[in-house]
Amino acid sequence: MTRDYKPSARNRSKRSSGSGSSLLVGILIGLLLGLGLALLVAIYLNKVPSPFLTRGKSADATAPSAEVLKPVPLPSGRTEEKPRFDFYSILPGNENTAAKPQQPASGAPAQVKETFYLQAGAFQSPAEADNMKARLAMLGIEASVQSNASTDRGTLHRVRIGPFERVEEVNRTRATLKQNGIETTLIKGRESAN
């Protein structure tokens, strides 16, 4: 005998009516549980003190005292001076007005040591001197322009590299410049050393 496995219309109606009401009950229970959980979280957050806020005396107890924040004076009684960089003293042509490091006053006589400079050129035009300085900068060599007024020649702008303390440094720099087609003149100077 053959059996018909197709569900009858009577069996279909029983299943569909039961599943529709259970879906609605599930959604209602989910909403109630979510609302209850949100209410519990809100109560917890309002009752528990926040770790980010400090109220009253607890903020005063954790703040560092003013004595800790005071700068400590140096043993010599002077405070440490920070270098001051001024834009206008760095501009081309103003190299001579740049502040030189201060030498401490002492009763001992200053020792004199010999220093060396390389002069890459002396120009009547400040633009030519700046061009030579830029050319040296492209080679990675720092130079300065020193202007000097004389009665017979007018103002000369000298492009100098240095100071060097050792002859080896002078020779190495001079060789680099010669390879790049720049002739230099060695100039000896004296500086007082402490």
Look up residue 57 and give its DSSP letter. Answer: H
User: Has residue 57 been placed in a domain?
Assistant: no
User: Has residue 7 been placed in a domain?
Assistant: no
Res 44: pLDDT: 87
pTM of the model: 0.41
User: Has residue 53 been placed in a domain?
Assistant: no
User: Has residue 125 been placed in a domain?
Assistant: yes
Total domain count, the chain:
1
Res 185: pLDDT: 87
User: Where in the sequence is the domain holding 155, given as residue range(s)?
Assistant: 111-193
User: Has residue 38 been placed in a domain?
Assistant: no
User: Has residue 74 been placed in a domain?
Assistant: no
Tokens of 184: 């230099």
User: Has residue 158 been placed in a domain?
Assistant: yes
Confidence of residue 67 (pLDDT cuts 50, 70, 90): very low
Res 115: pLDDT: 85
Rg (CA), the chain: 43
Question: Which residue matches tokens 């609302």?
Answer: 35
- The mean pLDDT of 9-16, rounded to a whole number, is 58
User: Has residue 89 been placed in a domain?
Assistant: no
Q: What is the CATH number of the domain that holds 189?
A: 3.30.70.1070
Residue 140 sits at φ, ψ, to 5 deg, of 90, 20
Distance CA 68, CA 50 (A): 28
More confident residue, 35 or 17: 35
* Per-residue pLDDT tens digits for 116-164: 888 888 888 899 999 999 999 988 888 899 888 877 878 889 999 888 8
* Per-residue pLDDT tens digits for 94-107: 554 444 555 555 55
Tokens of 137: 């900068």
Closest CA to 108 of 44, 19, 12, 192: 192
Closest CA to 150 of 159, 142, 161, 158: 158
